[in-house]
Amino acid sequence: MRLIGMMDSPYVRRVAVSLKCLGVPFTHEPVSVFRHYDDFAAVNPVVKAPTLVTEGGIVLMDSGLILEHVEQLVPAERRLTPTDLADHARAQRIIGLALAACEKTVQMVYETTLRPAEKHHQPWLARVRGQLLAAYRLLEAELGTGDAWLFGGRPLQADITAAVAWRFTGFALPDVARTDAHPALARLSQRAEALPEFASSPLE
């Protein structure tokens, strides 16, 4: 199985960390959607990271769809999704908030780095920043004050995606990912980044 994309993409990183947590072997190819466009297009002409090429040679994209597939490769007890229905709904909410935070961070980065300065649209940036702050405010409230993983003794997809999102925004937009305003996210991130599955998939 081949995972294609750079670890500075939170979507690539959540897939890499998840594959390691699931114990599914894969090779990682750090190909950039910007710097190595043609190489990326040779594998996936749509040039979306992450791209996963399955053992059977099927080219998948979109981290959520990739994770849905790879979860099927392991026994139920190793999966990263809670089975209890109420836990499942809460996990999906946390993942949704974290993915919205990733998307809004990416939008701000693209607007400010890919477009010339005179074309930065300030009302759009202000709107996206507001959405990003709302996502992290709600995510912080979901995490609570405890120091345990969200659903028991090991990190599941909600922990992974929330931690990956926070680290990504902290790297890309440090003025947004402020520890003083988000102590629970900062604690989760610190705990997660210390795990071998995270440490061996560094963002930088």
Ligand X SMILES: N[C@@H](CCC(=O)N[C@@H](CS)C(=O)NCC(=O)O)C(=O)O
Binding region for ligand X (CB under 6 A):
9, 11, 33, 47-50, 62-64, 106
CB 77, min distance to ligand X, A: 26
CA quadruple 185, 189, 190, 192: dihedral positive or negative? positive
Whether the Cβ atoms of residue 68 and residue 54 lie closer than 8 Å to each other:
no
Note every long-range contact of 178-182, with CB atoms under 8 Å and residues 24 or more positions apart, other chains counting.
Answer: 181/140, 182/136, 182/139, 182/140
Q: How many residues does the chain have?
A: 204
Peptide bond into 50 cis (omega under 30): yes
Q: Which is nearer to ligand X, 95 or 188 (CB)?
A: 95
CB 122, min distance to ligand X, A: 23
CA distances from 148 to 2, 88, 97, 191 (A): 32, 17, 19, 9
CB 109, min distance to ligand X, A: 9
d(CA 89, CA 163): 19
d(CA 201, CA 183): 23
Q: Which is nearer to ligand X, 53 or 184 (CB)?
A: 53
Q: Which is nearer to ligand X, 14 or 184 (CB)?
A: 14
Helices (H) and strands (E) in the chain, counts: 8, 4
CB 132, min distance to ligand X, A: 15
Q: Which is nearer to ligand X, 22 or 49 (CB)?
A: 49
CB 197, min distance to ligand X, A: 19
d(CA 51, CA 15): 10
CB 102, min distance to ligand X, A: 8
Q: Which is nearer to ligand X, 147 or 204 (CB)?
A: 204
Q: Which is nearer to ligand X, 41 or 181 (CB)?
A: 41
